[in-house]
């Protein structure tokens, strides 16, 4: 009977790898199609990997507490020939052997700028490389760092799982300050003299996301917003929406009036969003998760409270549903819960906007009605954005519209 591999599936558009937490089967066991065989942890949630077909577990390749890229072999399953053909694993006829480009020949190489020595060649690994994706499109993992990386040093970095950003603090001794292989090895030896602890998959995922985000020109604008109307409206609600939910709804309404502000610049065109899905930041152990509320512009504030509260609880338990992995077009972060008044949050790589809400404080605000300053609850709103898509004026107008909507919460 044919044997097919059980692969690490794509568990979300921005998921590049997952860590095996638990193996739920054993060699020789007969399992049904869809039966859970691995429990895995991604940077978003804990999920299950099921069997693609009915069969017998031939071998288990994956081990617990190890991260595997999407497409990696986790186990081998013995199935019927019919199921193998349905799953695209039918045996292929042998192909005629042709001379490989890497085989030795008697013909001299022509039109080559240089020749790679056999000992310097980078060998393919059994597992596919982790290639983060955003919106279904590959996103280059390499960003800024060292100005130039030689093929030899690149191979050494790939071996260690490092990227160019990790070399940002390495002093180069080569020509023009270039970081040489010797500089790199000296840097690695120095690390061993420090206390080292492994980074969690969550922390690595956040770091990779922020590194890719920073390849764009980002800017932040801010303005104060009076929260008296929001606080008064909240008292009349049951269940009561949190301040962040008011900001989510206000941002969605503002974006729906001109979707270009949340568009993405691809080549020489602005790609407008198809739906106003807004994410919100939830702090979890060693990182941040961003659940998403769908089509916020079409829902009233009162309709979103239960869903919002449920997603917050599931995010903190790392149990977000699989259908919530698709990121929104913008994110709202309530950094005021940490007592922070003003901040410059960074948009996710697949997003153009992130709205921040600072801590509320009593502030004197001039009232023309009574011709004097009155104490009101005020907070700072910030909007970080991709400066290629928005200028300061457009960002300021968007932020002003959000602030205006928060002054009339009954319209939300």
> Spelled out in words, what is the top-level CATH class assigned to the domain 3-86?
mainly beta
- Residue 136: pLDDT band (50, 70, 90) is very low
CATH number for the domain formed by residue range(s) 217-411: 3.30.559.10
Q: What is the pLDDT of residue 14?
A: 59
**pLDDT beyond 60 at 25:** yes
Provide the H-helix boundaries in 163-200.
181-191
Burial 241-268 (b: 16+ CB within 10 A, else e): bbbbbbbbbbbbbbbeeebebbbbeeee
pLDDT value of residue 258: 92
Cα–Cα distance list, 143 to 16, 133, 157, 203 (Å): 17, 15, 14, 18
Q: For residue 43, what pLDDT band results from cuts at 50, 70 and 90?
A: low
Q: Which pLDDT score is estimated for 176?
A: 66
Tokens encoding 22: 């638990």
> For residue 12, what are its two tokens?
């979300």
Least confident of 65-74, 346-355, 377-386: 65-74
What would the mean pLDDT of 213-217 be, rounded to a whole number?
A: 88
Mean pLDDT of 379-394: 94
Instruction: Give the pLDDT confidence of 257-270 residue by residue, as tens digits.
Output: 999 999 988 888 88
Q: What is the pLDDT of residue 85?
A: 81
User: Could you tell me what percent of the chain has a pLDDT over 70?
Assistant: 84
Could you tell me what percent of the chain has a pLDDT over 90?
A: 41
DSSP codes joined into one string, 297-342 = GGS-HHHHHHHHHHHHHHHHTT---GGG-S--SEEEE-GGGGT---
Model confidence at 339, in pLDDT bands (50, 70, 90)?
A: very high
Contacts of 195 (CB under 8 A, 6+ apart): none
Is the Cβ–Cβ distance between 127 and 20 less than 8 Å? Answer: no
What's the confidence (pLDDT) of residue 118?
A: 53
Q: What angle do CA 335, 40, 36 make, to 5 degrees?
A: 135
For residue 197, is pLDDT > 80? Answer: yes
Q: What is the pLDDT of residue 194?
A: 85
Domain chopping of the chain, boundaries: 3-86, 142-202, 217-411
Which residues, in sequence order, are CB contacts of 75 under 8 Å at separation 6+? Answer: 5, 6, 25, 37, 38, 57, 58, 59, 60, 61, 62
Query: Which pLDDT score is estimated for 148?
Result: 66
**In the predicted model, what is the mean pLDDT of residues 401-410?**
94
């Amino acid at each position: 009977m044919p044997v097919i591999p059980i692969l690490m599936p794509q568990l979300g558009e921005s998921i590049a790898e997952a860590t095996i937490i638990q193996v739920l089967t054993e060699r020789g066991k007969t399992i049904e199609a869809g039966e859970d065989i691995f429990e895995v942890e991604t940077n978003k949630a804990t999920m299950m990997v099921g069997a693609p077909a009915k069969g017998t577990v031939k071998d288990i390749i994956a081990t617990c507490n190890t991260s595997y890229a999407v497409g990696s072999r986790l186990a081998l399953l013995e199935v019927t020939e019919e199921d193998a053909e349905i799953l695209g694993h039918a045996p292929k006829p042998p192909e005629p052997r042709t001379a490989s480009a890497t085989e030795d020949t008697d013909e001299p190489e022509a039109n080559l700028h240089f020749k790679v020595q056999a000992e310097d060649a980078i060998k393919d690994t059994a597992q596919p490389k982790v290639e983060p994706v955003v919106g279904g499109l590959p996103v280059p993992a390499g960003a800024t760092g060292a100005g130039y990386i030689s093929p030899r040093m690149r191979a050494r970095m790939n071996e260690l799982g490092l990227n160019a950003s990790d070399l940002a603090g390495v002093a180069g001794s080569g020509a023009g300050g270039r970081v040489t292989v010797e500089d790199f090895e000296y840097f690695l030896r120095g690390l061993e003299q420090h206390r080292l602890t492994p980074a969690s998959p969550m922390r690595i995922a956040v770091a990779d996301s922020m590194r890719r985000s920073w390849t764009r020109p980002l800017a932040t604008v801010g303005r104060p917003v009076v929260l008296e109307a929001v606080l008064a409206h909240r008292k009349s609600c049951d269940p009561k929406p949190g301040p962040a939910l008011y900001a989510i709804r206000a941002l969605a309404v503002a974006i729906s009036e001109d979707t270009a502000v949340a568009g993405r610049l691809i080549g020489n065109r602005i790609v407008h969003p198809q739906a106003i899905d807004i994410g919100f930041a939830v702090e979890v152990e060693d990182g941040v998760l961003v659940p998403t509320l769908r089509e916020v512009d079409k829902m009233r504030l009162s309709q979103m409270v239960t869903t919002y509260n449920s997603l917050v609880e599931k995010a903190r338990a790392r149990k977000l549903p699989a259908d919530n992995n698709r990121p929104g077009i913008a994110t709202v972060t309530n950094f005021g819960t940490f007592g922070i008044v003003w901040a410059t949050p960074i948009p996710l790589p697949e997003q153009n906007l992130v709205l921040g809400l600072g801590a509320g404080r009593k502030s004197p605000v001039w009232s023309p009605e009574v011709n004097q300053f009155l104490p009101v609850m005020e907070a700072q709103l910030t909007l970080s954005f991709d400066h290629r898509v928005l200028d300061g004026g457009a960002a300021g107008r968007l932020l002003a519209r959000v602030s205006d909507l928060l002054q009339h919460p009954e319209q939300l």
